[in-house]
Amino acid sequence: MSAVFDAVMLLLLIATAVTVARARDLVAAVVTFGLYSLVLCLVWQHRGAPDVAITEAAVGAGVTSVLFLLTIAKTARSERR
Amino acid sequence: MKTFALVLVLVVAATMVIGIAGLPPHGDPDGPIHTHVGARYLERGVAETGVRNLVTAVLLVYRGFDTFLEVVVIFTALVAVLALPSATRRPPPARGESTAAPRRGSDDAVPVSPVVFFVVRLLAPFIAVFALASLYRGHVTPGGGFQSAAIIGAMMIALGLVFGREHAARLVPHGAKAWLQALGPLAFAIIAFVGWRLTGAFLGFPADEAAHALREAMVVVLEVAIAVGGAVILAQLFMALDAPS
Amino acid sequence: MIAGAVLEIAAVALVVLGVAFLLAGTIGLVRFPDVYARAHAASKCDSVGAGSVLLGVALHDGVAFGDLKLVLLALLVVVSGPTTAHALARAALRSGRRPSTRDPAGPA
Amino acid sequence: MTLFGLDLDYVACVVLFCVGLYMLVAKSNLIKKVLGLNVMETSVFAFIVTSGMIDGGQEPIVVAGSAPPYTSPIPHAMVLTGIVVAVSVTAVALALIAQIHAHYGTIEVDELKELP
């Protein structure tokens, strides 16, 4: 059961990371990066690291996303081809 | 560029796969990570530091230097961001100064939805209580200085997003701002010198049983300083990036 | 004994109900045509689903004071989920997304 | 779980690191580069936390009701500081990117290279 959870979460991590890399729309990339951080936070909670999980949930998914979105609002929204 | 990147990634991946092939399997109780100094921390950490959350014990007592310089790093990051010209430029005076309807800072901004405004205002005290609880009970539950710094910082950023820049700036008292930003490094420096006077080692913690209360007080000062200083630095980073360029 | 069994059954029923709602919400998130319908599916079903899963977990193994945390979590989910959906839908509307209509002659 | 003698959890971290590295090198957009840097950082954190795992281990908090084995606390403390450093680095990078956009009107490396 635990191995299945781990495998699903790791595949989800890789899928979200690849989506971040492929997204042309920067807002979509940042939102997917927030999802990536939250999945990572679940993995860490599952691996006995609740302290790290709390910090990652607040910083990785919250603060970092907001900082990215502020910068995107000031610059360009989509990656130029 | 794409080809070069792919080749580079493949080379790095091959190197790292060779590297991990030589690592002991994780989760093994007899692996080196669990038998070296980690085992000692787990065995005697509570007796030596008085902190039951061993992550905090390692962070502040056993690996204090690491954390000290880490606090200095985030302070330096804030200094670097504030040193950029846009952060210090005065924002244009807001037209009308209406306080009834909360608006985002710039003139053409979309007004914040009243639903979001209400819910963020409703949840902010709960988030603050959670952060304070994770600081206060950080020695027996997951939590501690960095965790509550992250939570308080995120809460201040959420408030800053719905209240607008002018209101959010008031969350941090203006006169004390400089001191609060530097609170982490300052507290670490002071505690380090106190430890030096007491034990002869920079950032040393008195180990004998009699100094139990003093040791705990030192840990508590560091925790509170990290939480407050870290939260203020995160909020300031947000405000610096939010400033009009 | 009987009370314990009733509690256990209630807990399992709540969790199953919650999972069913989450499944429905997820199917809606994938299958619905536009951002408004998707936000609608995600917020409603996930609020009920996650809320009842949390309540079911609180009832499991008897009721203790610590279960109050789970009730608070359920309240948080019920408050924050719809707010997020509202903010998303509002942002979509302000950025000019038109709801999709079944009428092929209507706006795309 | 192992495959061909390789620990799959570690392999997942390597894959994430490589995705981040590819973004950092191949993408021209500076924000995508910083996102790639963040993916790389988190993959390293995931690797460190994974290496501290122990089978059937609990979080390293010694209170009534918890018993050994505990996961190793050292990786957690290192990663905790690492996460906060990562967000500071990201903030500095983003502030610089906003400055670059204000001065040159673009954040694409290709176009920045063309500038006189």
Give how many domains chain D has, as a whole number. 1
Q: Which tens digit of pLDDT belongs to each residue from B82-138?
A: 888 765 454 444 444 444 344 444 444 677 888 888 998 889 899 999 899 888 887
DSSP B17-84: HHHHHTSPPTB-TTSHHHHSHHHHHHHHHHHHH--SBHHHHIIIIITHHHHHHHHHHHHHHHHHHHHS
Distance from CA of A48 to the nearest CA of D (A): 5
Q: Which tens digit of pLDDT belongs to each residue from B41-97?
A: 777 777 777 777 888 888 888 888 888 999 999 999 999 998 887 654 544 444 444
Domain carrying residue D31: 2-114
| Cβ <8 Å between A71 and B157 | no
Q: Is residue A81 very low, low, confident or very high in pLDDT (cuts 50, 70, 90)?
A: low
**Chain C from 67 to 96: CB within 8 A of any B CB:** 72, 76, 79-80, 83, 86-87, 90, 94
Q: Which residues of A touch D19 (CB under 8 A)?
A: 14, 17-18, 20-21
Could you tell me if D40 lies within 8 Å of chain A, comparing CB atoms?
no
Q: Please state the domain extents for chain A.
A: 2-74
Instruction: Look at chain A and count its residues.
Output: 81
Could you tell me if D28 lies within 8 Å of chain A, comparing CB atoms?
yes
For D25, which of B8, B25, B28 is closest by C-beta distance?
Answer: B8
Q: Which H helix or E strand runs over B151? A: helix B145-163
pLDDT of D39 strictly over 90: yes
Question: Subunits touching A (CB < 8 Å, at least 3 pairs)?
Answer: B, D
Q: Which residues of D touch A67 (CB under 8 A)?
A: 87, 90-91, 94
Could you tell me if A55 lies within 8 Å of chain D, comparing CB atoms?
yes
Q: Please state the domain extents for chain C.
A: 2-94
For B115, which of C72, C83, C94 is closest by C-beta distance?
Answer: C83
What is the domain-level CATH number for residue D10? 1.10.287.3510
Closest C-alpha among A28, A57, A4, D95 to residue B134: A57
Give the whole-angstrom CA distance, residue C69 versus residue C53. 14
Q: Which H helix or E strand runs over B6? A: helix B2-21
**Chain B from 86 to 145: CB within 8 A of any C CB:** 110, 113, 115-116, 119, 122-123, 126
Give the whole-angstrom CA distance, residue B192 versus residue B204. 7
Predicted pLDDT of residue C16? 93
Instruction: Look at chain C and count its residues.
Output: 108
Nearest CA in chain A to B56: A51
Instruction: Look at chain B and count its residues.
Output: 245
* Contact partners, residue B163, CB within 8 Å, separation at least 6: B102
More confident residue, B176 or A68: A68
The Cβ of residue D2 has, within 10 Å, a number of other Cβ atoms equal to 11
State phi, psi for D7 to the nearest 5 degrees. -75, 120
For an interface test with C, the pick among B104, B116, B120, B155 (most C C-beta atoms closer than 10 Å) comes out as: B116
Predicted pLDDT of residue A37? 94
> So what's the ipTM on this one?
0.85
**Helices and strands in chain C, H and E counts:** 3, 0
| Cβ <8 Å between A50 and B142 | yes
Could you tell me if D45 lies within 8 Å of chain B, comparing CB atoms?
no
Q: Which tens digit of pLDDT belongs to each residue from C86-101?
A: 988 888 888 887 877 7
For D77, which of B58, B149, B241 is closest by C-beta distance?
Answer: B58
